[in-house]
C-alpha cells in the first residue's frame, strides 16, 4: 500500500527529500563499495536505489531533492560556533556529491541546492507554501523539521528497516506542544549535533516543566521565569538573552524558497543516459531497476495486452515491473536427475552450490543443476574433495544428518553466516530472503553472477550468491573470522543441541506448586488493596485502579498516549502504595510460571532432557542466543535463581561442571584501553570493584564500604553497556546531580578509559564501523545522524560492541577448543550449554573433576590478553550446585 493510501490523502502529495541527510546515511550504511579503479560508489548506489524504490512504490507526481550548498549560511553569521564541532566531510563522500546530483537529475527528479540557507529551510518553506493546496510528505530525519508538521504535512524518517511517520496529532500527543513552539523548546535544551548550547543542565524533562509554568514560548519564559523555583531560575537568568539567538538557529526559515510546485513534476527518464551513467560507475545491479515505460499504448500490441492484464485492467505497468511475459517468456529450468552419487560428475577441486528441500539435494556445478535423491553419506563422499561448498546453512545440514561432519570446516561457505557477518543487524538471513536479494534488490555484487541465472534455480543460485558476496567478505577482512571461528563452532552447537540438558521433573512440579500458591495469595492481596475485582494482567484495568481509584500519580505514558504500567514505571512509584510492590511481585512470579515452570517440562524427551536451538545469527555483537526454548534467559540470580538452576541436572551416573569467566568484559576493557588501574588490579588478582571504589574515594582498599563497592561495580559495568547519568542515578538510588559528579570523578581518576572510549567513537565515525578482537564488524551509520538520540545511541553501541563482541569472540573460541579437545573426549565430557560467560559440561561422575579442570584450563588459555583470563569452576549434580 502506498503512503498516499496509508495516510488517506485524496490528492497527489509533493515529496520533499532531505538529500544531504540521505547522502550521509547512504555513505555510512555501506562503506565497502567502489568501482574497479577504487572510486567510491557506496553513497551513489544507495541514494539512487532509495529514489528508484520511491518511484516504484509511490509513483509520485512531484518530487524535490534538496541539498545543502557550499559555504556558510545565515546561522554562521549569527553564531560563529554553529556546527563548529562537526568533522569535515570525508573525501570519499565529497567525491560522490556530483555523481549523486547527476543521478538524481537522470531519474527525472528536481534537484534544488540551497544557497545561504540549509536544505531544511527550503523544505520547511516549500511545505508551508504547498500545504494549503496539496499534501506534503517530508522525507528526512532531522528533528528540527518537526516544526513543519501540519494537518496536511507529515514527515517520514527511515532508520535501518524501521520507518517512523510523524503526524501533527502524533506530535501533539507525544510532545505536548504545537509544532511552531518546537524551536522554543529546542532553544532551551540545546542541540549538541549543531553545537547549540541551550541552557546548561536543562534537558527535555526540565524544559517541559519550565514551559508548563511559564507558557509555551520564550517570550513567556522571559516574562514569567520568576515564578520558577530558585535553582531553576538561577539556571535560566544568565541565558535569557541567549535563548532567543538559539531559537533563531533552530527555527526554520519560511521565506527562502518560492518555487511553484510545477517545477517539481517528475519528468520522463532518458533510459539510455541513465543506463550509461550506471555503467560508468559500475552500478550494474541497478540496471534492472531502470523504470519501464509507464503507458501501455507505448508498447507493442502483445506487450500492451500483457501489461494491461498484469496491472489489473488499467493499462498501466508497475514502474519497476518485469518485462511483460509476452515479450520474454520464462523458459523452464533444466535439471539433471541424479538418483545416485555415481550420476554426478567429479566434484574434486570444484566450487559447488548445495541446497536441500524435502529429502532432495540440489547441486549446482558451473552451469548445470543436479537434483540428487540418493543416500546422504554417498553425496558427502562425492563432495569431500570439493574446493568450496556454498550452502545456505551448514547448521541445518548437520542437524539433519551427522554425515556432513566429514566435510572440513575450510570447505564450507555458509551463505547465511556470510550475510550476517557483513550486516549483523539485518535480522533476516533466510535463504528465501538472500535469494530474493539477488534478483530484486538491485545489488551490484550480484549483477554478474545472477545475469544468466534462472530465478527458480537452487544449487546454482547458492553458487551465484557465494560468487557475489565472497569478495565482500574478503574485502571486509571477515574470511578468517568465518573460517576459523564461526564455521568450526557450528558442529559444536549442533552436538550441544542434540545432547540437551537434563531437568528434574519433580523439582519443577514442586517449584510450580509453591509459585502457584504465592500467586493465589498475591491475587487476594491485590484485589483487597484495590477495593474491587479486576484483571491484574490487564494494563488498562491496572492503570484505572492505580491512577484513578487509588490516586497514585501516573509515572509515564506509552507510545500511544495511554498511562503506562510497565515495570520500570512501577519501580519509580513502588513506595507510594503497598499495591505497587504486590503487583511487581505478582508479575515476577507470573513470568516464572508462564515462561519456565509450566512450559519447560512439556518439552523434554523420553530421557527428561531439554533440547534448545542455538542461534549464531541473532545479535549485532556476536553473542549467541537460544530459542525453542530460550535457555539463555533462565533466571540465575535473585531470590529464585538458585532454585531454578537446581531444576537442571545431569543424567544418571553423571555430574555437571560449570566454568564461568570472571569479569571477562572488564578484562577485555583493560586489554584494549591499557588503563593502569585496571591492568594492575587484574594482574594482581585484586577485587576490581573495591580497587575502583578506593580510587574514586581516595582511600585504602580495606577501608572501602559495601555501598562504595556497589557504586563502583555499577559504574564499571554500566559504562560498558552505555549507562547514562539517569540510569546510574536510578541504579544507585541517588540524585542525577550526584550521579553526574560520580561519573565525572570516575573519568577524572581513570582518564585512560575516557580517552579510549573517545578513540573508539572517533574511529567508528571515520570508518563507519567498529571491530572486535576476532575482527567482527558492526556498521554504525547513525553516528552521523542529525538526531542526537540516535547519534548518542550509536556511540554507546560502538563501545558496547567492541567490549561485548570481543567477550563473545573469546567464549566462542573456548567452545570450539573444548569441542575439539581430545582430553575431554577421553573423559567422556560433553559440552551441553552456554549461558552468557558460562560453559557447562556433563561427564561421568568419576571423571567430572578432571573434566572441569580441563575445561577451566582451555577457557583461561584460549586467548592471550594483557591481563589473565580467570575462570570460576563449580561441580555438582545440578546446575545450582555447579554454579
Each residue's pLDDT tens digit, 443-475 = 777 877 777 788 889 999 999 999 999 988 998
| CATH number of the CATH domain containing 342 | 3.30.420
pLDDT at 157: 85
Q: Decide if pLDDT at 299 tops 60.
A: no
Three-class SS of residue 696? helix
64 shares its domain with 154: yes
Instruction: Look at 71 and 320; give whichever has higher pLDDT.
Output: 71
Q: Is position 300 within any domain?
A: yes
Name the band, by pLDDT with cuts 50, 70 and 90, for residue 197: confident
* Average pLDDT for 360-383: 94
> Long-range contacts: 238-241, Cβ < 8 Å, 24+?
239/199, 239/200
First to last CA, the chain: 53
343 shares its domain with 322: no
445 shares its domain with 348: yes
> CB count, 10 Å around CB of 511?
20
Q: Decide if pLDDT at 259 tops 50.
A: yes
**Phi–psi pair at 757, nearest 5 degrees:** -60, -45
Q: Is position 781 within any domain?
A: yes
**CA 531 to each of CA 28, 102, 161, 524, 581: distance values in angstroms, whole numbers, following the listed order:** 57, 70, 46, 11, 16
Last residue of a domain, one of 606, 622, 651: 606
Three-class SS of residue 508? helix
| CATH number of the CATH domain containing 82 | 3.40.50.1010
CA-CA-CA-CA dihedral for 698, 703, 706, 708, to nearest 10: 0
100 shares its domain with 123: yes
Alpha helices (runs of H) in 733-783, residue ranges in sequence order: 736-749, 751-767
134 shares its domain with 181: no
- Kindly report the average pLDDT of the chain as a whole number: 86
Buried b (16+ CB within 10 A) or exposed e, 672-690: bbebebbbebbeeeebbbb
pLDDT at 557: 65
**CA 248 to each of CA 82, 202, 243, 743: distance values in angstroms, whole numbers, following the listed order:** 11, 19, 9, 33
Pairing outcome for strands 609-610 and 368-372: unpaired
Name the band, by pLDDT with cuts 50, 70 and 90, for residue 560: low
pLDDT at 837: 92
Distance between CA atoms of 883 and 872, rounded to whole angstroms? 9
Q: Do 162 and 180 meet the contact criterion of CB atoms below 8 Å apart?
A: no
**Cα-to-chain-centroid distance, residue 6:** 26
User: Which region among 222-236, 346-360, 551-565, 578-592 has the lowest average model confidence (pLDDT)?
Assistant: 551-565
Q: Is position 56 within any domain?
A: yes
Beta bridge partners of 839: 659, 834
733 shares its domain with 790: no
25 shares its domain with 141: yes
Q: Decide if pLDDT at 848 tops 80.
A: yes
Q: Is position 492 within any domain?
A: no
749-797 pLDDT, tens per residue? 888 888 898 899 989 888 889 999 999 999 888 887 777 778 888 888 8
Q: Decide if pLDDT at 850 tops 80.
A: yes
SS (H, E, C) 348-404: CCCEEEEEEECCEEEEEECCEEEEECCCHHHHHHHHCCCCEEEECCHHHHHHHCHHH
CA-CA-CA-CA dihedral for 208, 212, 215, 221, to nearest 10: -60
Q: Is position 671 within any domain?
A: no
Name the band, by pLDDT with cuts 50, 70 and 90, for residue 489: very high
pLDDT at 320: 26
Quote the domain boundaries for residue 129. Answer: 1-171+260-285
Q: Is 714 left (phi over 0), alpha (psi -120 to 50) or beta?
A: alpha
Q: Decide if pLDDT at 144 tops 60.
A: yes
Domain count along the chain: 7
708 shares its domain with 849: no
Q: Is position 215 within any domain?
A: yes
Q: Decide if pLDDT at 482 tops 60.
A: yes
Q: Is position 757 within any domain?
A: no
163 shares its domain with 130: yes
Distance between CA atoms of 221 and 239, rounded to whole angstroms? 11
| Closest among 274, 229, 348 to 52, alpha carbons compared | 274
469 shares its domain with 348: yes
SS (H, E, C) 542-563: HHHHHHHHCCCCCCCECCCCCE
**CA 428 to each of CA 391, 395, 425, 469, 665: distance values in angstroms, whole numbers, following the listed order:** 16, 16, 9, 16, 28
Q: Is position 483 within any domain?
A: no
Distance between CA atoms of 43 and 100, rounded to whole angstroms? 8
Please give the helix or strand (H or E) that residue 587 lies within, else none.
Answer: helix 578-591
Q: Helices 182-189 and 204-214, interaxial angle, to 10°?
A: 130
343 shares its domain with 469: yes
Last residue of a domain, one of 606, 623, 646: 606
Q: Is 176 left (phi over 0), alpha (psi -120 to 50) or beta?
A: left
Q: Decide if pLDDT at 720 tops 90.
A: no
pLDDT at 422: 92
pLDDT at 803: 93
**Cα-to-chain-centroid distance, residue 24:** 19
Q: Which residues contact 774 (CB under 8 A, 6 or more apart)?
A: 481, 485, 806, 809, 812, 813
Share of the chain above pLDDT 70, in %: 93
Share of the chain above pLDDT 90, in %: 45
654-692 pLDDT, tens per residue? 999 999 999 999 999 999 999 888 899 899 998 888 888
CA-CA-CA-CA dihedral for 284, 287, 289, 295, to nearest 10: 180
Distance between CA atoms of 343 and 40, rounded to whole angstroms? 47
Q: Do 501 and 629 meet the contact criterion of CB atoms below 8 Å apart?
A: no
Name the band, by pLDDT with cuts 50, 70 and 90, for residue 324: very low
| Closest among 428, 426, 420, 435 to 489, alpha carbons compared | 420
Distance between CA atoms of 391 and 431, rounded to whole angstroms? 9
313 shares its domain with 415: no
| CATH number of the CATH domain containing 225 | 1.10.150.20
User: Which region among 289-293, 485-489, 765-769 has the lowest average model confidence (pLDDT)?
Assistant: 289-293
| CATH number of the CATH domain containing 648 | 3.30.70.370
Q: Which residues contact 581 (CB under 8 A, 6 or more apart)?
A: 574
Amino acid at each position: 500500500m502506498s503512503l498516499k493510501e496509508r495516510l488517506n490523502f485524496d490528492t497527489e502529495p509533493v515529496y520533499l527529500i532531505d538529500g544531504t541527510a540521505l547522502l550521509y546515511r547512504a555513505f555510512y550504511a555501506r562503506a565497502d563499495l567502489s568501482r574497479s579503479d577504487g572510486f567510491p560508489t557506496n553513497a551513489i548506489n544507495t541514494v539512487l536505489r532509495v529514489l528508484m524504490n520511491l518511484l516504484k512504490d509511490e509513483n509520485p507526481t512531484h518530487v524535490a531533492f534538496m541539498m545543502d550548498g557550499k559555504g556558510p549560511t545565515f546561522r554562521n553569521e549569527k553564531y560563529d560556533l554553529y556546527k563548529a564541532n562537526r568533522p569535515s566531510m570525508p573525501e570519499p563522500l565529497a567525491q560522490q556529491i556530483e555523481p549523486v546530483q547527476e543521478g538524481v537529475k537522470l531519474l527525472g527528479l528536481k534537484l534544488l541546492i540551497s544557497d545561504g540557507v540549509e536544505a531544511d529551510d527550503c523544505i520547511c518553506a516549500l511545505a508551508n507554501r504547498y500545504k494549503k493546496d496539496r499534501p506534503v510528505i517530508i522525507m528526512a530525519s532531522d528533528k528540527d523539521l518537526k516544526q513543519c508538521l501540519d494537518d496536511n504535512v507529515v514527515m517520514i524518517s527511515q532508520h535501518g528497516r524501521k520507518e517512523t511517520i510523524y503526524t501533527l496529532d502524533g506530535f501533539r500527543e507525544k510532545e505536548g506542544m504545537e509544532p511552531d513552539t518546537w524551536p522554543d523548546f529546542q532553544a532551551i535544551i540545546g542541540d549538541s549535533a549543531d553545537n547549540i548550547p541551550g541552557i546548561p543542565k536543562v534537558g527535555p524533562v526540565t524544559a517541559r516543566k519550565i514551559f508548563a509554568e511559564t507558557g509555551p514560548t520564550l517570550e513567556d519564559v522571559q516574562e514569567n521565569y520568576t515564578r520558577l523555583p530558585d535553582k531553576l531560575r538561577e539556571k535560566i537568568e544568565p541565558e535569557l538573552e541567549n535563548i532567543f539567538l538559539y531559537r533563531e538557529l533552530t527555527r526554520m526559515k519560511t521565506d527562502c524558497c518560492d518555487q511553484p510546485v510545477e517545477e517539481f513534476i517528475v519528468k520522463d527518464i532518458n533510459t539510455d543516459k541513465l543506463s550509461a551513467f550506471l555503467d560508468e560507475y559500475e552500478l550494474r545491479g541497478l540496471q534492472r531497476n531502470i523504470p519501464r515505460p509507464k503507458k501501455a499504448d507505448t508498447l507493442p500490441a502483445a506487450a500492451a495486452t500483457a501489461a494491461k492484464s498484469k496491472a489489473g485492467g488499467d493499462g498501466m505497468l508497475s514502474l519497476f515491473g518485469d518485462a511483460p511475459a509476452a515479450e520474454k517468456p520464462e523458459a523452464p529450468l533444466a535439471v539433471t536427475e541424479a538418483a545416485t552419487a555415481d550420476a554426478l560428475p567429479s566434484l574434486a577441486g570444484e566450487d559447488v552450490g548445495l541446497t536441500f528441500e524435502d529429502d532432495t539435494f540440489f547441486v549446482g556445478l558451473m552451469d548445470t543443476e543436479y537434483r540428487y535423491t540418493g543416500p546422504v553419506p554417498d553425496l558427502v563422499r562425492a563432495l569431500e574433495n570439493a574446493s568450496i561448498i556454498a550452502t545456505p546453512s551448514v547448521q541445518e545440514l548437520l542437524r539433519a544428518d551427522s554425515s556432513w561432519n566429514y566435510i572440513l570446516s575450510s570447505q564450507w561457505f555458509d551463505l547465511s553466516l556470510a550475510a550476517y557477518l557483513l550486516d549483523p543487524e539485518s535480522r533476516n538471513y533466510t535463504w528465501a530472503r538472500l535469494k530474493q536479494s539477488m534478483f530484486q534488490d538491485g545489488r551490484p555484487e550480484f549483477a554478474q553472477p545472477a545475469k544468466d541465472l534462472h530465478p527458480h534455480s537452487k544449487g546454482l543460485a547458492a553458487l551465484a550468491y557465494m560468487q557475489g558476496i565472497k569478495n565482500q567478505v574478503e574485502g571486509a577482512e571477515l574470511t578468517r573470522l568465518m573460517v576459523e571461528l564461526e564455521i568450526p563452532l557450528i558442529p559444536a552447537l549442533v552436538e550441544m543441541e542434540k545432547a540437551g540438558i537434563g531437568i528434574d521433573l519433580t523439582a519443577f512440579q514442586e517449584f510450580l506448586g509453591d509459585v502457584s500458591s504465592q500467586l493465589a495469595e498475591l491475587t487476594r492481596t491485590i484485589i483487597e488493596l484495590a477495593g474491587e475485582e479486576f484483571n491484574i494482567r490487564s494494563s488498562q484495568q491496572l492503570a484505572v485502579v492505580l491512577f484513578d481509584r487509588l490516586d497514585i500519580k501516573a509515572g509515564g505514558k506509552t507510545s500511544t498516549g495511554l498511562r503506562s504500567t510497565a515495570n520500570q514505571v512501577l519501580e519509580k512509584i513502588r513506595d507510594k502504595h503497598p499495591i505497587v510492590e504486590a503487583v511487581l511481585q505478582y508479575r515476577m512470579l507470573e513470568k516464572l510460571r508462564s515462561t519456565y515452570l509450566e512450559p519447560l517440562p512439556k518439552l523434554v524427551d523420553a530421557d527428561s532432557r531439554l533440547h534448545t536451538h542455538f542461534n549464531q545469527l541473532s545479535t549485532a555483537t556476536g553473542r549467541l542466543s537460544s530459542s525453542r526454548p530460550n535457555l539463555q534467559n533462565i533466571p540465575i540470580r535473585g531470590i529464585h535463581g538458585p532454585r531454578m538452576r537446581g531444576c537442571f541436572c545431569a543424567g544418571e551416573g553423571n555430574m555437571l561442571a560449570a566454568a564461568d569467566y570472571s569479569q571477562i568484559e572488564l578484562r577485555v576493557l583493560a586489554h584494549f584501553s591499557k588503563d593502569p588501574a585496571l591492568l594492575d588490579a587484574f594482574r594482581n588478582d585484586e577485587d576490581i570493584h573495591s580497587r575502583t571504589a578506593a580510587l574514586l574515594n581516595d582511600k585504602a582498599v580495606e577501608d572501602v564500604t559495601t555501598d562504595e563497592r556497589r557504586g563502583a561495580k555499577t559504574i564499571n559495568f554500566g559504562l560498558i553497556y552505555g549507562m547514562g547519568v539517569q540510569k546510574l542515578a536510578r541504579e544507585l538510588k541517588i540524585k542525577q546531580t550526584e550521579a553526574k559528579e560520580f561519573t565525572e570523578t570516575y573519568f577524572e581518576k581513570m582518564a585512560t578509559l575516557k580517552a579510549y572510549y573517545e578513540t573508539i567513537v572517533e574511529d567508528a565515525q571515520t570508518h563507519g564501523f567498529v571491530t572486535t578482537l576476532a575482527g567482527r564488524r558492526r556498521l554504525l551509520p547513525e553516528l552521523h545522524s542529525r538526531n542526537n538520540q540516535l547519534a548518542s545511541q550509536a556511540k554507546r553501541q560502538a563501545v558496547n560492541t567492541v567490549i561485548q563482541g570481543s567477550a563473545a569472540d573469546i567464549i566462542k573460541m573456548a567452545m570450539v577448543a573444548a569441542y575439539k579437545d581430545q582430553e575431554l573426549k577421553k573423559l567422556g565430557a560433553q559440552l551441553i550449554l552456554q549461558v552468557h560467560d558460562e560453559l557447562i559440561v556433563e561427564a561421568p561422575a568419576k571423571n567430572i573433576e578432571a573434566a572441569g579442570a580441563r575445561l577451566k584450563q582451555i577457557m583461561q588459555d584460549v586467548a592471550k590478553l594483557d591481563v589473565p583470563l580467570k575462570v570460576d569452576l563449580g561441580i555438582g549434580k545440578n546446575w545450582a550446585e555447579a554454579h
